[in-house]
Amino acid sequence: MKLYWNGAINMRKYHEIYFATSNLDKFKEAKVTLSKFKINIKRAAVKGPEIQSNKIEEIAKASVVQAIKHIKRKVFVEDTGLFIEALNGFPGPYSSYVQLTLGNKGILKLLKGLSNREAIFKSAFAFGEPNGSILCFTGCIKGNISTEEKGEMGFGYDPIFKPIGGGGKTFAEMTIVNKSEYSHRSRALEQFAGWYIKNYKIN
């Protein structure tokens, strides 16, 4: 297990949580959102086997149980899914695998000639700590799949996903700060932050 420490923080003002992820871009996005709530996160590069499930919430919950065993502190894990209407919700909970095998070009090929390009990006954050309960927080954003890849600033499906209200831009055409105004990830984390502030009494 590798722990990544991210700068000197005045710990009188911040609460710390570990984000178990090997994806640095996800970590950066989460850090931007949670810093607004004075919640500091550190990255733990732990990656265990994912269970097979049709629900990303169940995948995240199972993953965080494994992460707690390694880190032994407050930690959360995320699972995401891109649900494309014309493809009956595919790739959904298999989004990570499909991104590795088909990639964005493969998705665009599957949608070639189709007028319905509506999709939902969904994020599930499972949170837990040793001897504590496992909770899950979700966030969604509706949007459309573009006809071509656009942008250089995102990762994963960001170059082909245009969120509603985003001015026709893909996530990959937005900065992290701009993306956090719309993203499924930020919406899930904002729910988590509200719960965490209330239950851990952050001033």
Sequence-ordered list of residues with C-beta below 8 angstroms from that of 6, at least 6 positions apart, any chain: 31, 40, 41, 42, 43
Q: What pLDDT digit, counting tens, does each position of 128-170 carry?
A: 999 889 999 999 999 999 999 999 998 999 999 999 999 999 9
- Rounded mean pLDDT, 60-84: 94
**More confident call, 16 vs 194:** 194
Q: Give the number of other Cβ atoms within 10 Å of residue 147's Cβ.
A: 11
**Residue 79: active-site member:** yes
SS3 46: coil
Of all residues in the chain, the percent with pLDDT exceeding 70 is 90
Does the pLDDT at position 78 exceed 80? yes
- Rounded mean pLDDT, 65-83: 94
Residue 46: domain span? 3-200
The confidence score (pLDDT) of residue 107 equals 98
pLDDT tier at 47 (50, 70, 90 boundaries)? low
Give the CATH number of the domain where residue 76 resides. Answer: 3.90.950.10
Does the pLDDT at position 189 exceed 50? yes
- Rounded mean pLDDT, 45-51: 74
Check 29, 57, 78, 79 and give the catalytic one.
Answer: 79
Q: How far apart are CA 186 and CA 199, in angstroms?
A: 20
pLDDT tier at 203 (50, 70, 90 boundaries)? low
- Rounded mean pLDDT, 88-104: 96
Average pLDDT over all residues of the chain: 90
Look at the chain and report how many structural domains it folds into. 1
